[in-house]
Structures are given as structure tokens and as C-alpha cells.
Amino acid sequence: MLKQTPLNAAHRRMGAKMVDFGGWDMPLNYGSQLDEHHQVRRDVGMFDVSHMRVVDVQGDDVRGFLRGLVANNVDKLTTPGRGLYSCMLNPEGGVIDDLIIYFMAEDWFRIVVNAGTADKDIAWMREQAAERALTITSRGDLSMIAVQGPHARSKVWAAIPRSETATATMKPFNAVEFQQYFIARTGYTGEDGFEVILPAAEAEPLWQKLFTLGVKPAGLGARDTLRLEAGMNLYGQDMDERTSPLVSGLAWTVDLRSERDFVGKTALQRRDIDRQLVGLLLLDKGVLRAHQIVHTRYGEGEVTSGTFSPTLQQSIALARIPLGIAPGEEVTVQVRDKTLTARVVNYPFVRNGKSCLTI
């Protein structure tokens, strides 16, 4: 039996094609995935991301606990509502999950984790917290709606009365509690917008309100093409427990400078880094897909995520390839019986509706 979010009936009413996504019955699209993609880039769209899990960590010295738990440094979080993207590593330096940590108060940090890894994450957190006086609460009572696109914020302001005052000057990667809502200026699309965490019973009323304001729903299909254009990693595809953040394009999220120790730090310092995550732009016709083999002058690599970019009208990918191959170089990718040419590029590919390609 698949798990359902509180918006399941709404998705079906809106004609969604539903798929099994890591044990959740989720909307893939509501018609055309490409239309939904462009809608978000050009105007606004909304996603049900209630399958993601909110975890509240409360008690004495939560900050001290998190300093040791995650690879990024929670000491960067100094003002309430501030969010931090980080990886949580195993002792071998592999990625257990990527997550966002919000600083609510010194005795309360809120963590948002991936759906498929949530139970494993919480078990790991509890194990790590064993000696501490901490409460780790899985907030299955909360839902999450992501409203994304250049017009996303104004639609949320229209849907939630008086929320504009509370969030108008809020910068990206910050959040605020407003009435029963937790409104974060975050997303997974490369566009402006909010992710709204709210009680499950409030999810459908907000969804319907946004819909009547002209916000169209978008499914997981568009979510994937949007995040890949935005150059954002997908857990389980671009990194997992066997890969370190240092070979996954996530070195910027790992703090090795501070004195503090964290799980996986020693392993990261010991590991030789021989690979890198790069962007690929396919120059030939075709579509890059995960697991295709990449040939470079320093040896083989592998596509970790690939798709057709609706914005660029060309296939793009993230690929893990040997170090030393630089942006601008051409590599080949084996696609079925054909050898196609791709260019190594810096990513993101697209941000705020525009191509970021410079070469």
C-alpha cells in the first residue's frame, strides 16, 4: 500500500498521472510535464512535497549536537529562521542524506530531509544523539507545498492574508513562522519562491486557494527537469552512501576549515579525490540519461542525472568524471549503439528563467 499525502485526492481530481515514488503515491504530471516546467520558469507553479519529512530537534545544546552530525557548519546559523544546506555523512564520508537545517532557537532546530531516506535519517540521528538530552520528533503531522516561479511570492501573499508583511524582505534560505505556517524562501527549481510547511489539515485549503489564484500544479516530472537545469543534486542519483560530497559537486557545503569534528570528517580528509561532478551539454541529438558511460581523455566516467532541458531545448546532464577535465572540453557519451559528443560545462544550466551557459 502506497503512502498518500493529504493532497492525494486533490491530485486525482486535477487529473494527475500518479506514480510510485519511493513508496509514495505522487503526481508525475497533470498533463504535460513540459508545460508544467515552462509554467514554473515563466510564471508560477506549485508542487506537493509533503512526502518530504520535517524533523524537529529540541533540547539542550542542539547546536553542539548538529556540529558533530552534519558536514556543513551550523555555526553559520546565527539569526532565527536562517537555513543551511548540508550533507549528513556516515563515518566513511558517504552521504546518508542531504538536508536543510533551520535555526529556530538555541533549543530548537528544524531539519527537512528527503522522503525516501527519512526513516533511516531519523534512526541515525537518534543513534548519534544517544548520550544527549534531546528530543527528535518526526513531524508526520506536517505537509509541505512548494510554490515556485517568478510570480510565486505574490501568489503566496495573496493566498495567505498578511503574510507579505512577514516575508517581503526575507532573503533566500531564510524562513519565518507565520500563524500556522512555516514559510521558507527556498526551493528546488532555480526560481524564486516559497516552500510552505503547514499542518496536514491546512494543505488542501491552501492548495485550492492557490489554484483559484491561477497557480497551476506541477508534478515530480517537471520538478526533476527544473532541478537538473538548476544544477541541484538529487540524493540517490548524484550522490549516495558510497560517494563523498567532495566528488559530488558539494565541496562548498563541507566545512573542513573549522576545528570542530563531525561524522565522516576524518574519512574525507583521508580520501584521494580523483573525480568531479560536472555539467554536460549534449551537442548531438539524443537524450543523456543516468548510468550512461562517459569517455574522457583521462578515462571513463558516468552520467548521474540526465534529461532533455525544456529551457535549452538540448539534453543536459550531471556526470562524475575524472579530475582534470575542464569546462569547454568535449567528451563522448555512449548512448545505446551510438557515440555522442557532449561539452563539459559549468552548472547551473538555468537560473531565474535564463540560460547560464557561457561556453
Question: C-alpha cell of 279?
Answer: 555539467
How far apart are CB 33 and other proteins at their closest, in Å?
5
What's the one-letter identity of residue 42?
A: R
Can residue 29 be called a binding residue for other proteins (CB under 8 A)?
Answer: yes
Q: Based on CB atoms, which residue is closest to other proteins, 36 or 255?
A: 36
Query: Of 25-33, 78-86, 111-119, 273-281, which part binds other proteins (CB under 8 A)?
Result: 25-33
Query: Of 29-37, 64-72, 122-130, 248-256, which part binds other proteins (CB under 8 A)?
Result: 29-37
Q: Are 175 and 102 in contact (CB under 8 A)?
A: yes
Spatial distance between the Cα atoms of 123 and 141, rounded to a whole number of angstroms? 18
Q: Based on CB atoms, which residue is closest to other proteins, 29 or 233?
A: 29
Can residue 28 be called a binding residue for other proteins (CB under 8 A)?
Answer: yes
Can residue 231 be called a binding residue for other proteins (CB under 8 A)?
Answer: no
Q: Based on CB atoms, which residue is closest to other proteins, 68 or 286?
A: 286
Can residue 50 be called a binding residue for other proteins (CB under 8 A)?
Answer: no
Spatial distance between the Cα atoms of 328 and 358, rounded to a whole number of angstroms? 9
Question: C-alpha cell of 275?
Answer: 573525480
Closest CA to 151 of 191, 179, 211, 200: 191
Indicate the helix (H) or strand (E) that contains 249: none
Can residue 211 be called a binding residue for other proteins (CB under 8 A)?
Answer: no
Q: Please count the other Cβ atoms lying within 10 Å of the Cβ belonging to residue 184.
A: 26
Spatial distance between the Cα atoms of 74 and 276, rounded to a whole number of angstroms? 25
Rounded (5°) CA angle 175-73-356:
65
Spatial distance between the Cα atoms of 251 and 9, rounded to a whole number of angstroms? 41
Residues linked to residue 145 through DSSP beta bridges, in sequence order: 48, 196
How far apart are CB 32 and other proteins at their closest, in Å?
6
In the shown chain, the binding pattern of residues 164 to 203 toward other proteins, with x for contact by CB under 8 A and - for none, equals ----------------------------------------
Query: Of 26-34, 43-51, 167-175, 233-241, which part binds other proteins (CB under 8 A)?
Result: 26-34
In the shown chain, the binding pattern of residues 331 to 350 toward other proteins, with x for contact by CB under 8 A and - for none, equals -----x--------------
How far apart are CB 305 and other proteins at their closest, in Å?
13
Q: Are 257 and 269 in contact (CB under 8 A)?
A: no
- Stretch 276-335 residues interacting with other proteins (CB under 8 A): 285-287, 289, 307-308, 310
Q: Based on CB atoms, which residue is closest to other proteins, 88 or 316?
A: 316
Question: Residue 159: which residues within 8 A CB-CB, separation 6 or more?
Answer: 206, 209, 210, 213, 215
The site for other proteins (CB under 8 A) is made up of 17, 28-29, 32-34, 221, 225, 285-287, 289, 307-308, 310, 336
